[in-house]
Amino acid sequence: MSEMVRMQHTLAQTAVVEGFGFWTGQDIRVEFHPAHANAGLFFVRIDLPGLPIIPVSPNFQIIKPRQTSLATDDAQVDMVEHLLAALHGLEIDNCEIRVNAPEMPGMDGSSQAFTAAILKAGIITQSAIRQKRIVYKTLRVGDDEHWIEAKPSYNGRTTFVYHLDYGDNNAIPQQSYRFIVNPENFILQLMSCRTFLTKKEAEQLLAAGLCSRVSPHDVLVFDENQQPIDNTLLYADECARHKTLDMVGDFSLGACDWVGEFTAYRSGHHLNVECVRELLKKTVCIESNVVSSHTNTFRVASKAI
């Protein structure tokens, strides 16, 4: 049955990723620790007094440009989307994420380093059922210029479709990508797709004193000829794939598996999270003890990294 739920997962042992933050340039260490069933995903700021906890939930989103940020009264974490995409893409439901800075390490602007660390640590099945939410009627957020539409899935699959369109004369060409959500597809098609921006945008960020340690070797910076500077595309549609990667990370804030077809046109992080909020109000929750047989889908993973 397409509406069967699965069991929850956590890490078999601690995973570690170290790098620098794109925005602050600060050296950062993030640790993924196993968490008990039904604990969910949550950040712990180990550099702050009292070790404040920040749950992964749309209720804790704060608006910051070009990223997904979460905050409580005591602490915040920035640019969490690529880290969360790795967890959600690999079906890690319970994890304590310890970090010693206010943002996540940027790495190459993709989810690959986080994914590799999690796979190396291992994934185990837990004795609790993962909540699943089913889209039964069409829902749309946004406006004519930027929108996301959720529709029922009649084959039981979860699909993200992203249409990227910045106009005919933009340095980043129009492109679209369709992604069927499962761990194998995430590893083979999505995890390595990097953050992108135009040369003009990069110059504006540097002039504002931001992203001083980031170079075109780290992320995709497009020149006026629609070509990445000092870099090579992994896919012709890598930019649309990266925006889809962002959707996977942002939709993890719903703390569930989604069943539906989610089509986005020029959406960003804020609209992604707004869509999650609406879906939590207007979808049907499946949470029963009827569970499909669980197969280990992660064996191929280590070979693909």
- From residue 51, give the alpha-carbon distance in Å to each of 43, 56, 84, 101: 10, 16, 20, 12
> Do 1 and 66 contact (CB within 8 A), yes or no?
no
Does the annotation mark 269 as catalytic? yes
Cα 33 from Cα 253, distance rounded (Å): 18
**Please, what is the angle between helix 112-121 and helix 81-89, to 10°?**
40
Catalytic residue among 242, 269, 270, 294: 269
> Do 35 and 96 contact (CB within 8 A), yes or no?
yes
| Token pair 């761990």: residue | 183
DSSP per position, 202-224? HHHHHHTT--TT--TTTSEEE-T
Q: Give the CA diameter of the chain.
A: 56
Cα 240 from Cα 226, distance rounded (Å): 14
Helix (H, G, I), strand (E, B) or coil at 238: helix
> Do 239 and 76 contact (CB within 8 A), yes or no?
no
Cα 88 from Cα 81, distance rounded (Å): 10
| Cα distance from N-terminal residue to C-terminal residue, the chain | 32
What are 103's strand-pairing partners?
78
Residue 174: what residue type?
Answer: Q
Which residue numbers are catalytic? Answer: 269
